[in-house]
Structure 1
């Protein structure tokens, strides 16, 4: 994406391995004058930062290989690599223990998944405001109230600012991505790669909530817990419950 010719380019690096979530952020920032680079893992993110500086780094914590914590530690220990960019943690389930682990690592803001279009746009705007002084303490953006039902119109209001067209465009892209997620989940379960299944279900929980599919989001969250506990049988049962949704 490129900004208008009379506006400064806002370079943002997104470290997110889930394609649906990355697309949501891309669509949310499309008209914000943002030059967005998306990396699916820490290694490629570090390479991107070495290639050119950015003004804002948005990273998930649960990533394949090295984690978001590893990335934060690396950037904190090598300020020249960060080059003054602000760092935002974009993750679900950021509790007090995780916040404490991030303290003292130069984190500018924590943005909880799922976030709305308005929250993402405000985050970028705040990051690039001229002469802004970073807060002395870690700022945590609260989770917006969950939709009161599974009706998709609630999700449109909660996460898309009432923009039905944007919601439908995002949903269409998700439905395409779900075909790939289905293959990835089946493969992970077949090979008993519960770590991969945990990452996938973690991302799907956020995507489902963004689409207003609250009950499916709960099942995905249960699957994440089962996979994290190493319970292959329970994981298989939960995955079987999710497959119909991914099949449309």
Structure 2
């Protein structure tokens, strides 16, 4: 049975991704910094007869929490097949480059970029023991430098969230470097935009969470002929899914 760890999986897209991987026969470690909500999420899935799921307390901004999660998971498995770095925050308002304060930038980068790196480094040894390890960094088309600078992009005038966009652009760069460093291995590492989705994150505006979860799961399941080091947004480019950095 393949095993996956998903960060920030107690609700929204992370939770739906957990559900869909469970339906694919995975054993899922559901990471959540909120213990009560994480346990509740696990019980919800088990009530759906998706029983191969385990809650893991995991705050991606806390070194001790990440190391504790690594020890806990390491006690139950010798390998990990999929890591989905899903945990993220939008930085809060004000959203503009001239008004957002330093605390917003620090907190958002700590979660969205450093958190992903922190978790990846902690679990890379377990991932290396999988015959087909996959890492999906949940990104967004809003983090594309090319699109953000293109006046013809449909979201050009509305997707200007300076802190969030900057953090996801940085996550994209981390993805490129991670894929490069693992280029001669069985790893596949990609950045995936789930699309504008109706969750707490978007104040419940946007598309269906099931569609978003499926977009992430697709790249968690790619075979050895699949891509690595790429940036995908099927919402932005329905034909190939690839979008410019």
TM-score by length of 1: 0.31
Looking at CA atoms only, which structure, 1 or 2, has the larger radius of gyration? 1
TM-score by length of 2: 0.31
